Structures are given as C-alpha cells and as structure tokens.
Chain A
C-alpha cells in the first residue's frame, strides 16, 4: 500500500484553496476509512477527532445501505443538511486509495454552486497530487513497510504514556 505524502498533499491543497475563496463560512476535512483525519483546514478544531469518526460512519453507512439495494450506478457524493447549512462528502483518490473529502458549510446562499466548486477542487487536488507524486513513487519504489517502528517497548514506557 502506497502511503500518502503528507507534505505534498498539504502543498497541493494550499495552492488550490482559492477555488473556494468566495465562500466564507466553510470548513474542509479529509478523512480515512478508519475515521482518522488525514487533513483539515484551519477552521476545523484539530482537537475534535469525533469529526473524522462521524464523517466516516456517515459515509460508510450510506455506502453499505446502497450496497444492500445493489445501487451500482449511484454517485458516491453525499449531502446532509438544509439549503443553507450542511455537509457535502465526496470521494477523493490519492495514491490509489480512496478517502472522504468533506465541506461543512453554513449560511451559504447557493449550496449547489459550492458543491460544484468543491468537486472542482477535489479534481484539481487529485490531478495535481498524482502528477507531483510520480517522482516520489519512483524514488520510493520497492521500499516496503517491513521494519518495525518500535522494538521492545517496555512496561515503563507504556506507564509513562498513560500518565494522564
């Protein structure tokens, strides 16, 4: 499994955020399938990890629900909320892996326009990331995650970790 190049992702997103510059009260979050927040903009409370769990839960449930009805041609975008406030989730593929990319919006006069531009941002990020990441993947080719990150963690180290 190829890993996300986090610095590159950050750079690519920062360079393209101007696509949504006309919208003021929005927050952007990118989450993994296990609920971990991969990236969030400055409007998101980085301490609010529940956001990732709930977005992933919401999206996974919707996917499982459509699978029950074998709705193969359904698009994977999900919107929850009213005409001016809500959340819109769309899949984004980076290094061959799919993530949930979300915009949470408030007081937006034209949500359809926001969703359209948001999906344009997503497409731009995908294209730009893949193009720039090709070099990194060639360099990293063959480098597998075979080594353990930590060896022989002691009980004392775990106790220190839990001194909370």
Chain B
C-alpha cells in the first residue's frame, strides 16, 4: 500500500517487476539505475546467489520530482524468477502498488510466462488484491532476439487483463523507461486521498 505523508508532502509507492526466471527483470532496474543521476537514486541492493541469479530481491529506491506539490519516491523491486522461490515472491508482493510483468518473448518461454503469470494472480488474490483493480502493465521483453513470438500471440496468451503493454529490449534499454513511466502514471492515479 502506498504511503502518502501529508505532513511532509511525500508519496512512497512500491512497484514490483514480476516474471519468469531470466526474463530481464533485474536488467530493467539495472538500466534504470545506470541512467538515473546520482542525486535521484540510492545504492541498488541486490541479494543474489553465487551464480548471479536473484535470490531474494533487487531493490532500487528512485527519488523523482514533484507532482502537484507532492515529492514522489518509487521503490522498485524485482522478485526471484526461479519457480522454487515462491515464498520469497509472496513476501515481496506485500504492499505492492503496481506490477510490471516482464515476459520473455522467446517462443520456448511461453510456458514459463504462463506459469509465472498464474502464480502472480494467485499470490495477489491470496493477499486480498483485486487483480482487475491493481495497476499492472505487460512488458514484452527481448524483442531484439530472433526466435520470438509475435506480439499478437503474446497479447492473446498473456494479456487477458487487457492492460497496457510495451515491447522492450531491457539489455539495450529499449522500452524500459516507457514501461516505468506508464506504471508510475497508473499507480499515482490509483492513489486514494484521506483529505477532504
């Protein structure tokens, strides 16, 4: 759940990058980290296994500018994509305000995408979220690779929620900020006020 501090006029929101293993979640936030000026970011935290796979989460706090008088801060998290880290994914989804689902466009990864999407929906429902009301976007990653599913096929198979989607190549940086901007907009527009 977002944290709006009316006293200091600050907004904190939590965005989680979710998706199958090796799909490019960490690469997304590494690109954001690299392209963000030092004034607007703290150190990126990565909790990896010995072979550089995400063990628990990656975390990047991002200080942005002001919107209508409120200073905004986004906390970006990735989940570990490997199937057996389900318990960690559930913990990281707690209090989430928006999801970027990073799908791997490679044809042979469709099954893994579907499995990950199912787990996302199940984990969100388990925590009391209404999936149809939570800001979610789809990112079709790895569009630079040769053996990829057409976008129409990804839309048909994975975007039953009919949410905004973006083609991306996180390794090159294509589509990374477009995805982040869209989820940020949806999250901010979803914030509820306790002020009259």
Contact = CB atoms under 8 A, between A and B. Distances in A.
Contacts of B185: 153, 155, 158
Interface residues of B, number: 51
B45 A61 contact: no
B67 A150 contact: yes
Contacts of B39: 164
Contacts of B7: 6-7, 10
B192 A145 contact: yes
A162 B6 CA distance: 22
Contacts of B12: 36
Given A157-B67, A159-B181, A164-B65, A33 B95 contact: yes
A149 B40 contact: no
B40 A164 contact: yes
A160 interface: yes
Contacts, number: 121
A151 B68 CA distance: 11
Nearest to A49: B61
Contact of B191 (A64, A143, A148): A148
B19 to A, nearest CB: 20
Given A50-B42, A162-B177, A36 B3 contact: yes
B174 to A, nearest CB: 16
Interface string B171-196: 00000010011001100111111111
B151 interface: no
Interface size grouping (class) on chain A: 35 or more
A35 interface: yes
Given A6-B5, A49-B61, A35 B191 contact: no
Nearest to A147: B193
Interface string B24-42: 0000000000001101101
A89 to B, nearest CB: 15
B192 A53 contact: no
A150 B36 contact: no
A116 B187 CA distance: 41
Given A33-B94, A153-B188, A164-B37, A49 B193 contact: no
A47 interface: yes
B87 interface: yes
B127 to A, nearest CB: 11
A110 to B, nearest CB: 32
Contacts of A54: 45, 59
B158 interface: no
B181 A162 contact: yes
Interface of A: 1, 3, 6-7, 10, 32-36, 38, 47-50, 53-54, 57, 60-61, 64, 143, 145-153, 155, 157-164
Given A53-B57, A158-B181, 6 more contacts: A35-B14, A36-B95, A49-B75, A146-B192, A153-B185, A160-B65
Q: Rank and list the top 9 A-B pairs by shortest CB-CB distance, nearest first.
A: A34-B95, A49-B61, A145-B192, A149-B191, A149-B193, A164-B40, A53-B59, A60-B91, A6-B7
